[in-house]
Amino acid sequence: MTTTPLTHTPHDSGVPASARDFSVEGRVVVVTGAAQGIGRELARQFAAAGAVAVVADIDVDKADTVVKEIQDAGGVGLAVRVDVADESSVLAMVDTVIERWGRIDVLINNASIFATIEKAPFDQIPVAQWEQVLKVNVTGSYLCVRAVAPHMRAAGFGRIINVSSDAVTRGTANYLHYVTSKSALIGMTNSLARELGGHGITVNCVRPGMVATEVERDQPAEARARAAAQQCIPRGMVPTDLVGVMFFLATPASAFVTGQTIACDGGYTHSS
């Protein structure tokens, strides 16, 4: 499949949004860490809505499986191996997408180390593990933004969405490396929004709650039940609960929304 150039309403025009502005159809969407979990579902849903879903992941075999799911459902997808913590790997991934479709409209920085993290008191976390988590979760997102930004600037359009976590507001104990990394993404979002806003590029952050996925991790049923009971919407969260806010932030309709961190957690947290 080849994509045709999309026209963009000038981001500062104040022209009222049309119905098409709320569509992701035809958009080229890169989702990192999309071989499983939240990323997998986002890639599948974007493709189902008519976008080109780039399933970017270090596990290319699992990424191929996701693309097959997308294609079997009638969508368009491409699996690309990427190690987000490696600059040359990120640049190669972006080059592959640009060579295939000529542009990248949306980047969702979803890749992170999470399920394999061993919880420990902060002063017992091995320094090597601390550095690995920050390298993937923070530097990886930075490298991806750095690689796509020139193409978005040239197009005068771009949507960058960072994925944080409600662990930031919970202040989850024995999880300092993960919480610190996800906190950093919020600050990164704020600064990037300042630097890129003049180019028609918005940068926002989504902060999911406790999401149940197919990925096995230390998330006991009783802990999920306690979290759900404290939400305004008292049920467990699933990956599809993120789709609506992600779609909106990926479209032209969100052109005047940038530098924001949006909680999608069933009302577990409230912001002032």
Q: Are 142 and 112 in contact (CB under 8 A)?
A: no
For 106, the token pair is 């949306």
CA distances from 54 to 19, 62, 70, 97, 98 (A): 25, 13, 11, 8, 11
DSSP secondary structure, 182-207, as one string: HHHHHHHHHHHHHHHGGGTEEEEEEE
- Say which residue the tokens 């032209």 belong to: 252
- Write out the H or E segment, with its range, that includes residue 156: none
Q: How far apart are CA 37 and CA 223, in angstroms?
A: 19
For 162, the token pair is 């960072």
By annotation, the residues acting in catalysis are 178
N residues, the chain: 272
Q: How far apart are CA 36 and CA 57, in angstroms?
A: 9
Residues 58, 59, 64, 65: is their CA dihedral positive or negative? negative
Q: How far apart are CA 148 and CA 95, in angstroms?
A: 9
Single out the residue of 55, 52, 60 nearest to residue 25, CA to CA: 52
Classify 54 as helix, strand or coil. strand
